[in-house]
């Protein structure tokens, strides 16, 4: 397949591009580097099936030649990043999705939107299944991300229903691994950098809020299976193993052998209290489930952060 990946220099975009190339596909990568980093893809430039252009996908999108799939992964994705870039976050989810869908329609390509567990907001049910409509504050600080992704899903389904575009709605839950930015602000990179520098590990709130963390290689395998599935509805991809943030801080401290103290800081506005994917649909439809446990995944991730932390 010849596949366009937007956000190709980002955390997930870079792993996805590498995986697709390894499967023998051709990848055209786009990124405007708001949160992407060329370092993440520099090893791909020698591959003649990989091409890359610095581009803002909220502008008119034109790609010469045939395309079999358009995978729209461009977006700030860390709460810190989308608070810093609220308008680009809204634009890439709304205008960027529209442009990418228009391109997919024109090329008769499969369209995949990288959606998110944030469409469930601060969920009133746990775990979250795909039929749950969510509990989102549209005007809160996280609304710029949550509503942009909800709009993106609505637009994607409209192109499916009205234009017959083949679509894949991928709802990504918390994911971690190499290529996350050190200063990205999410729990795993923050805790890793703090622990490796023996600085205080900052747990927000009392640390009783939960997340369920998926190692990146598991996520990418799930994404690839969804792409090939023929299923046009939303599918949760994530790891259902749920832990509290305090437990995560303790796990990172232990794995790094750090002398850091765990300290408590105010909980950000609208921070979801629980999050855990119901992956029954992915299990059944894609015969997929995550394989990498938290300890193993954190060990692999520490090795990356160790190599980067000065």
Q: How far is CA 178 from the centre of its chain?
A: 13
- Considering the complex, what minimum distance in angstroms separates the CB of residue 286 from ligand UDP? 23
204 carries an active-site annotation: no
Closer to ligand UDP by CB, 26 or 256: give it: 256
Task: Based on the shown chain and the rule CB under 6 A, indicate whether residue 231 belongs to the binding site for ligand UDP.
Answer: no
User: Residue written as tokens 């234009």?
Assistant: 163
Task: Based on the shown chain and the rule CB under 6 A, indicate whether residue 209 belongs to the binding site for ligand UDP.
Answer: yes
Q: Which of 120, 145, 159, 176 is catalytic?
A: 145
Q: Given the rule CB under 6 A, which of 11-19, 51-59, 182-190, 228-236 is the region that contacts ligand UDP?
A: 182-190
How many helices (H) and strands (E) the chain has is answered by 10, 13
For residues 41 and 36, give the distance between their C-alpha atoms in angstroms, rounded to a whole number. Answer: 10
Choice from 14, 89, 190, 217 touching ligand UDP (CB under 6 A): 190
Task: Based on the shown chain and the rule CB under 6 A, indicate whether residue 203 belongs to the binding site for ligand UDP.
Answer: yes
CA angle (149, 154, 156) in 5-degree steps: 90
Closer to ligand UDP by CB, 78 or 236: give it: 78
Choice from 3, 101, 245, 298 touching ligand UDP (CB under 6 A): 245
Contact 140, 271 (CB under 8 A): no
Closer to ligand UDP by CB, 111 or 176: give it: 176
Closer to ligand UDP by CB, 174 or 301: give it: 174
Q: Given the rule CB under 6 A, which of 60-68, 203-211, 230-238, 291-299 is the region that contacts ligand UDP?
A: 203-211
Name the residue among 255, 234, 99, 113 with its Cα closest to residue 192.
255
Site for ligand UDP in 74-103 (CB under 6 A): 78-79
- Total residues interacting with ligand UDP, rule: CB under 6 A: 15
Q: How far is CA 63 from the centre of its chain?
A: 24
Residue 243: strand, helix, or coil: strand
Task: Based on the shown chain and the rule CB under 6 A, indicate whether residue 271 belongs to the binding site for ligand UDP.
Answer: yes
| N- to C-terminal Cα separation, the chain | 40
Task: Based on the shown chain and the rule CB under 6 A, indicate whether residue 29 belongs to the binding site for ligand UDP.
Answer: no
Task: Based on the shown chain and the rule CB under 6 A, indicate whether residue 174 belongs to the binding site for ligand UDP.
Answer: yes
Choice from 268, 285, 308, 309 touching ligand UDP (CB under 6 A): 268
Task: Based on the shown chain and the rule CB under 6 A, indicate whether residue 187 belongs to the binding site for ligand UDP.
Answer: yes
Q: Give whole-number Cα distances, 136 to 4, 126, 259, 306, in Å.
A: 30, 15, 38, 36
- Considering the complex, what minimum distance in angstroms separates the CB of residue 96 from ligand UDP? 20
Task: Based on the shown chain and the rule CB under 6 A, indicate whether residue 14 belongs to the binding site for ligand UDP.
Answer: no
Q: What is the DSSP letter of 92?
A: I
Exposure string of 240-257, with b = 16+ CB inside 10 Å and e = fewer, is bebebbbebbbbbbebbe
Name the residue among 202, 214, 203, 261 with its Cα closest to residue 240.
214
Contact 282, 289 (CB under 8 A): yes
Task: Based on the shown chain and the rule CB under 6 A, indicate whether residue 141 belongs to the binding site for ligand UDP.
Answer: no
Which single residue brings its beta carbon nearest to ligand UDP? 186
Enumerate the β-bridge partners of residue 262: 201
Task: Based on the shown chain and the rule CB under 6 A, indicate whether residue 18 belongs to the binding site for ligand UDP.
Answer: no
Name the residue among 241, 221, 223, 215 with its Cα closest to residue 303.
215
Active site residues: 145
Which residues here bind ligand UDP, judged by CB under 6 A? 78-79, 174, 186-187, 190, 202-204, 209, 211, 245, 267-268, 271
């Amino acid at each position: 397949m010849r596949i366009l990946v937007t956000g190709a220099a980002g955390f997930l975009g870079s792993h996805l591009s590498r995986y697709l190339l390894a499967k023998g596909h051709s990848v055209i990568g786009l990124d405007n580097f708001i949160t992407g980093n060329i370092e993440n893809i520099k090893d791909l430039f020698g591959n003649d099936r990989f091409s890359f252009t610095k581009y803002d996908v909220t502008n008119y999108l034109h790609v010469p030649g045939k395309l079999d799939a358009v995978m729209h992964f461009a977006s700030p994705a860390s709460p810190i990043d989308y608070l810093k870039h609220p308008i680009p976050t809204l634009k890439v989810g709304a205008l960027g999705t529209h442009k990418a869908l228009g391109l997919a329609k024109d090329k008769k390509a499969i369209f995949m939107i990288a959606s998110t567990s944030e469409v469930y907001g601060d969920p009133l049910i746990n775990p979250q299944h795909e039929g749950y409509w969510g509990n989102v504050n549209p005007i809160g600080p996280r609304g710029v991300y949550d509503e942009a992704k909800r709009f993106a899903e609505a637009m994607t389904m409209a192109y499916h229903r009205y234009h017959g575009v083949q679509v894949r709605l991928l709802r990504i839950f918390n994911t971690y691994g190499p290529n996350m930015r050190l200063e990205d602000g999410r729990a795993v990179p923050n805790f890793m950098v703090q622990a490796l520098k023996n600085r205080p590990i900052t747990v927000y709130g009392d640390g009783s809020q939960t997340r369920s963390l998926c190692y990146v290689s598991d996520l990418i395998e799930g994404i690839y299976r969804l792409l090939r599935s023929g299923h046009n509805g939303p599918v949760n991809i994530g790891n259902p193993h749920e832990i509290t943030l305090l437990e995560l801080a303790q796990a990172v401290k232990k794995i790094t052998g750090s002398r850091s103290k765990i300290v408590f800081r105010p909980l950000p506005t609208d921070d979801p209290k629980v999050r855990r994917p119901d992956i029954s649909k992915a299990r059944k439809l894609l015969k997929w489930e995550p394989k990498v446990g938290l300890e193993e995944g954190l060990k692999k991730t520490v090795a990356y952060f160790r190599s980067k932390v000065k």
